[in-house]
Every structure is written in structure tokens, then in C-alpha cells.
A and B are shown apart, each in its own frame.
Chain A
């Protein structure tokens, strides 16, 4: 047993069972071409692809990828070559992340994980436990869930390429405050349409407009449609695509007093969990990495001829110089 000063960090080592991995490579120099090729490979051919924008540690610029089969690429006249690269090299962080994303998506489809809107964006994955820690009562309009936010990072340690899973934990409150749910509750409470419209007008909403979330104002509800104002323009949307913003002061009054939903218990739970100090935070991250990823079989993960395993121990940084300036 030794004592080491330093910092514990929420990085978990991803280890490959072989030093090199067989991938497929397309030589490209232009960033735009690299990105569009990756898009095509992933959407048309269901491959997993990563960019290398400039030469780095023996990797030439271009696209590195793996697919289930390569016949379609050949028949579509895509020029590629097979390559063997370091299984923990920089470009592999992208392939590893996308491989994790595929497994997470499958688990989301099976209901084993809860995936929020935009769960995979900006090189990070967000996945949550499907069972909520707490629901608001009586309508379960709010659910509190532990969610992991994941990235894959590449570090050079003593000139050795290494991959790490960077995992963070957030306790997120999900609301199902769609206008359709709200209208249903208010109708059951006996509000007529004019009074219902009056109640609904005085709040901020988020509208899903062409898959984008935008702030909007509700004008009037008619059956399952609602007239909204988005940036001074009137639009008609489904009541499922309009969400009440749960934060501002008057909305809270509305949720608690008009709808009768009790949210303070969920909020308090979220507040307490959100102020965990670093040691407990890192421990909890490790606990949920085990529960959501390991126990659900996300790891080990196979890419081409290599199997990657996750070491369930946070890294400890020992500062080398500890200089004071």
C-alpha cells in the first residue's frame, strides 16, 4: 500500500486487447470532404467512421472507418484501402465513441436506458437510467433520473497512446408538460375552453418546430392543435409539440395551483444530489458507469478485430512538477 498525493479525476481507462486494429481508410485532405464522407458512410452504409484532419503520430489525414461489409462501397466505386493502426490512436476515440453510441441506442430502444432528445450531439452521449429516482405527484409530470454524459478522450502518456472514457453524472428532471397532457388535466378539472385558453396564454413555452426547440407563446388551443407565435409569426402545431416551460415564477404557480402537481419533493431531491462534493461525485459516477454501461453490456465493445474493455476505476493524477508561480 502506498500513499499518493494528487487528484482523482472522472476518467476511466479503455483498454484494447490488441495493440493494433484493422480499419478501412479513405485518403482525403479537405475538412469539408472528410465530414461529408463520414456522413455518407454512416448514413448510407451504416459504418462507424472517424476524421483525421491532419497528420498526427503516423496517421495520415482522411477518414478511418469500420463497416459490417464492404461490398456496397466497392460497387459504388468508393476508393478505400485497408490499414492497420494503433488500437488506441487518436482517430480511434471517434470510432470508440460511436460504437458506444450504437450500443446505447439499442439499449434505449429496448427500454433499458432512457435517452433524452439530442442524446448524441457535439461528440458526447447522454444516457439516463430508465427507472426514475423520483416522480412528482399525482400526475407524474416530472421524473428525476441519473444521467451519464460520456465522451471518449485520447491522451499520450509516456509516449503511449491511450483511450479514456470521460464520464460525468447529472441528475436531470424530465417533464412531460406537453400541452396535450396539460389540457387533459385541466379538462378533467372541469375548465371550459375559453377559461382554459385564458390560463394557457400567460406563460412561456418551448415549441418543437421542424425538430428545433424554440421559445414560443400560445395563442389558442383547438382540439389537438394549438396556434402559437414563434418570432412574431403565427403557426399551428400539434399540442404534443408544445411544452410548458417549467421554470419561471408564474409557471410554477400554474403547475402547483392550477394543475395541482407537487414538484417540491422532486426539486429538493435534485438539489441535494446536485451539490455532492467531488469525492462522492466521482464515486457516484463510477457506480452509474457500472450500472448503466457495464451491467447493460455496453462494455466490452468490439471494433473490427479488437475488443475494448473499461477499467472501472477513476484515474489518479499525480502532478509531476507541482511548480508554484
Chain B
């Protein structure tokens, strides 16, 4: 960068956060999921894994051929992209079987009947449906489609207590996409079986006798019949090491005045569950970092969040400090002359290093989560490579100050909480950092599922969506 006009220079605070390492089997640290899983294996196996991976596919030539290819790759691996196969990498003794579904019952425009056909076929083929893990092969549906086959299938299996995995025909029928998608598919199957492939090895900086909980919250406006609407809040709770603990919902009538009450109850219930069930010993202090995206949180809602933390603190006699962090996608583009990443042709990419933080203004930071990222090759060597095409935008991390709360974690520690959660990327083995942190990444999927669950609740009666999720799914990341 030469000859800049000093008029156009902005002196702003900048930080370079290290990419935290991940922990695999035996707490072995590694940078890349690919390397960690291949060399060490997953962090934790599922307590009760199914015996079979059941590939359900519409019975026509195209789908059958793709299902065959997926089966072979899961069994025996797929070159260097997924070496050795599912059994070996994930250390689980599972078979893979293919079950066809009458293709006349497969209709993208008729999601309910099609989802039913998939479910019935699984029930027919497996004597005990809990011993089979369904992988459903279907066509791509437009993103954002509210009543889609994807949502309907996920809902149909979830309501029966069966986690499921969708494999998209358009992705797996294209060789250039297949090779990069087969390991992530296996990874998601393993997670939905109840396994933990990796956790964070490095942690946020707090004293040993204190604990951190990260809660991702989302809010969904759900239309029901007869123009009735509901607000449904949902919250995901994670421990400091990235371990997911639970998802909870709380529906309310469509009234902005009721929103603070709903959020207060939701946060209280989540913290009560996590602190009561999972936190070993009694920490001296709990830092509750709330990540959210989308709608702005009003002052009343912020106060509700603070009150929920204070209330649970009093009940459990623990000092609970809440923090509020908003995460947004941005339209900023940053270009760096000083980048270790080159393209395949050896040309500079000008990509900014992942982990770069720019303090744009008070309480507002740009965090680069995609760009130039360190990865580990199969020999363990660390090198930098682009994690995105084009010119990826940083995300915006805004720290919201809560009235009468003195923040003890500094801003950069809160920005780090976002980077650390972005590191929990269960959707890819090759990209070690997700653009959006796992705490808010699945807001849309959960919102769609929320709509289906709320509708069901309005039919069966009752007011607790959480009761619709079968107990056995509550320990499994079924919604990813």
C-alpha cells in the first residue's frame, strides 16, 4: 500500500486474536478438525449409538446411484477427502444400508406426504427405529422456504424422537462437491448420534473458580391459523469449552409488551437447567454471555435479561454477571497487503487474517471470521490458506451495556467469545472457523422448526413447546 493521502488514514484500535485450538480424543490439541479427527479421533463417543446408518432415497436411477456412492464412501472412505471411512474415523461399529422409497410418493411440492413416506419406510425397514440413523436423500429446496420438504422431514423425524440428516442430491451428485461434502456429512451424522467430535482446547481468560456460559438467543414471529401470531423465543446454551447443553423455547402471545417477560423466563429457565444439571461444583462467579442476532433488543428486554441473571444468582447464591453481545453480518470489505495467503497460482489474495479485530467505534468491532486462516495438513504442518472465495466481509460484534451492570470481562474477551463459538464449526472439516458463531448460526433453522412445533402445540393443546421434543433428543444437537 503506497502513497496514501494522510487525509484518508484512520487510526483505529486493532487486535490479532489467535485461533483457539480444538481438543480431540484424549484431550489432544489440534488446529484442524480434519487433522484432529484423523490422527486422534473424536473427543467423545455417543453413549448409545445406533447400529445402522439407513440411507433413504426415492427409488429412481439418479438417486440410487448417488445413495450407492455415499454408502461406499461412508463404509470405505473417499480418497484423502475422507480417509478410511466412518467406522474407523469415528470409532463406531455401525453398518450402512440403503432403503428405497416408492418414487411415486416423492413429491417436493407435497412435503407432508413425502415426509410421511420417508418415515413409514424407515419404520418398516428397521425393527427398532432407534437402532437406525436415517440419512434422507432429497432435492435441494430454496433457502428460506417456510413450508419445505426439508423442514417437514426434519420435523416428522424429530417429533418421533429420531434425529435425522438430509443429504442434498444436487450436492452429492456433483463430484466436485461430493469430495468436500462426504466428511462433513459423516461428521454431522456422528454429532446427531450423540457424539462430540471436538471441543475447545483453549478457553476464555477467567479465574479457575469462575465459570462462563454462552447463550445464543433468537426470536421468531410465528403465524398460526386465523391470523393469530405468536412470538417464540428460543435459547441455546453452551459451556466455555463449546459443549452444547440445551435448547429451550418459550412462546408468548404476539405482544411486544410481553416480550421482556418471555425473555426473562427463557433465560432464567436455561440458566437454572445448565447450572443445576451440568456445572460441576459451585463456581464463585458465573459470566453469562448472551449472543443474539437480528432484531434490536429494547431497554426493557435488556433489563429482563439482567433481572433473570440476578434472580438465578440469588436463588443459587452465585454471583451471576450478564453480558449482551450483538452479532451481525456486515457489508464492510477489508483488504490487506500483508497477508500470508496466496491463490493457487501464487498470486497474493489480499485476504485479512481470521481473528483480526478492528475497533470501529466505542463498543463496536469488526471481527474477521473468514479470510486467511491457519490449517493443519495431514502431516500436521500448519499453513495459511483462504477459507472463502472472493472478498469475505467481517462480522460486526457490538457490546451492549446493561444498566447497573459492571462488566468484568473486557470488550476483547467478549469479542473472543464470538470467535471461539465460530470455531465450533460442525458443518465443515476443512474450514476451521465458521463465519457465524454456532450460538446464533442455527437461528433460521430453529425458527422454522419453531413454527412447526408452535402449530402442533396449538393443535394438541398445552403451552410448553419443550415438552414436544422427546426426552432422548434433548442431549443431541438434532437441529444442525
Give per-residue flags for B8-26: 1 if the beta carbon is below 8 A from chain A beta carbons, else 0: 1111111111100000000
Chain A 312-325, CB-CB to B under 8 Å as 1, else 0, gives 01111111111111
User: Distance in Å from the Cβ of B233 to the closest Cβ of chain A?
Assistant: 21
Interface assignment of A311: CB less than 8 Å from any CB of chain B: yes
**Cβ contact within 8 Å between B416 and A313:** no
Q: Which of A3, A277, A320 has the most CB of B within 10 A?
A: A277
**Those of A1-36 within 8 Å (CB) of chain B:** 1-11, 13
Are A316 and B8 also in contact (CB < 8 A) when A7-B352, A8-B1, A249-B139 are? yes
Number of chain B residues whose Cβ lies closer than 8 Å to a Cβ of chain A: 53
0/1 string, B314-334, CB within 8 A of A gives 1: 000000000000000001111
Evaluate contact between B391 and A321: CB separation under 8 angstroms. no
- Given the known interface contacts A215-B145, A277-B391, A321-B13, the answer about A313 and B336 at a Cβ–Cβ threshold of 8 Å is no
Which of chain B's residues have a CB closer than 8 A to the CB of A279?
A: 335, 337, 350
Measured CA separation A320–B16 after assembly (Å) = 12
Cα-based distance from A276 to B350 in the complex (angstroms) = 10
Q: Does B45 contact A (CB under 8 A)?
A: no
Residues of A within 8 A of B4 (CB): 2, 4, 316
CB–CB A166/B331 < 8 A: yes
Whether A5 contacts B8 by the Cβ 8 Å rule is no
Q: Is A317 within 8 A of B361, CB to CB?
A: no
Residues of A within 8 A of B391 (CB): 276-278, 280-282
Determine whether the beta carbon of B333 is less than 8 Å from that of A9: yes
Chain A 283-324 interface 0/1 with B at a Cβ cutoff of 8 Å (1 = within): 001000000000000000000000000010111111111111
Q: How far is the CA of A158 from the CA of B361 in the complex (A)?
A: 11
Question: Is B2 interfacial (CB-CB < 8 Å)?
Answer: yes
Partner of A276, one of B13, B362, B390: B390
A231 at the interface (CB under 8 A from B): yes
- Shortest C-beta distance, A251 to chain B (Å), equals 9
Within 8 A of A (CB), among B115-134: none
Cβ contact within 8 Å between B3 and A1: yes
B334 in contact with A7 (CB, 8 Å): yes
Compute how far the CA of A120 lies from the CA of B75 in the bound complex, rounded to whole angstroms.
52
Closest Cβ of chain B: how far from A256's Cβ, in Å? Answer: 15
Residues on B with C-beta less than 8 A from A156 are 361-362
- CB atoms of B416 and A277 under 8 A apart: no
In the complex, the answer to whether B2 meets A8 with C-beta atoms within 8 Å is no
Task: Check B1–A3 contact: CB distance below 8 A.
Answer: yes
Whether A322 contacts B333 by the Cβ 8 Å rule is no
Is A316 within 8 A of B1, CB to CB? yes
Contacts A3-B2, A6-B1, A325-B412; A249 near B140 (Cβ below 8 A):
yes
Instruction: From B1, B331, B412, give the contact of A5 (CB < 8 A).
Output: B1
Contact with B along A148-166 (1 / 0, CB 8 A): 0101000111100000001
- Does A190 have its Cβ within 8 Å of any Cβ on chain B? no
Give chain A nearest CB distance to B355 CB in angstroms: 9
Residue B358 at the A interface, CB < 8 A? yes
Q: How far is the CA of A225 from the CA of B351 in the complex (A)?
A: 51
Tell me the complex Cα distance, A32–B166, Å.
44
Task: Indicate if the CB atoms of A317 and B358 lie closer than 8 Å.
Answer: yes
> Which residues in A have their C-beta under 8 angstroms from that of B15?
319, 321-325
- Residues of chain A within 8 A (CB-CB) of B10 are 9, 11, 155, 157, 315-318
A217 within 8 A of B: yes
Asked if A282 meets B333 with Cβ closer than 8 Å, knowing A155-B361, A318-B11, A320-B14, the reply is yes
Question: Contacts of A157 on B, CB cut-off 8 Å?
Answer: 10-11
Residues of A192-251 contacting chain B, CB below 8 A: 202, 204, 215, 217, 231, 245, 247-250
Q: Check B109 for interface membership: any CB of A closer than 8 A.
A: yes
| Chain B residue with Cβ nearest A162 | B10
B176-207: which have CB < 8 Å to A? none
Inter-subunit contact B9/A316 (CB<8 Å)? yes
The yes or no answer to B461 lying at the interface (CB within 8 A) is no
Closest chain-A Cβ to B349's Cβ sits at a distance in Å of 5
With contact pairs A155-B361, A319-B12, A320-B11 given, residues A5 and B337 touching in the complex (Cβ less than 8 Å) = yes
Q: What CA separation (Å) do A277 and B351 show in the bound complex?
A: 7
Contacts of A240-279 to chain B: CB distance below 8 A: 245, 247-250, 274-279
Would A278 and B335 be within 8 Å (CB), given that A4-B1, A215-B142, A325-B18 are in contact? yes
Chain A residue nearest to B146 in the complex (CB): A215
Q: Which residue of B lies closest to A168 (CB)?
A: B331
A65 nearest CB across to chain B (Å): 22
Report the Cα distance A29→B109, complex, angstroms: 50
Complex Cα distance, B3 from A1, in Å, reads 5
User: Most chain-B Cβ atoms within 10 A of its Cβ — which of A7, A13, A249, A324?
Assistant: A7
Chain A residues with CB under 8 A of B258: none
> Contacts A5-B338, A217-B109, A282-B335 known; A231 to B147 CB distance under 8 Å?
yes
Please name 6 further chain A to chain B contacts, defined as beta carbons within 8 Å, in addition to the given A247-B142, A279-B350, A323-B16, sorted by A numbering. A1-B3, A248-B139, A274-B389, A278-B336, A278-B391, A281-B335
Name the 8 nearest CB pairs between A and B, nearest first: A319-B14, A278-B335, A168-B331, A281-B391, A278-B391, A279-B350, A275-B390, A8-B335
Q: List 14 A-B contacts (CB under 8 A).
A: A4-B9, A7-B334, A9-B332, A9-B335, A11-B332, A231-B223, A248-B139, A275-B390, A277-B350, A279-B335, A317-B12, A320-B13, A321-B13, A325-B18
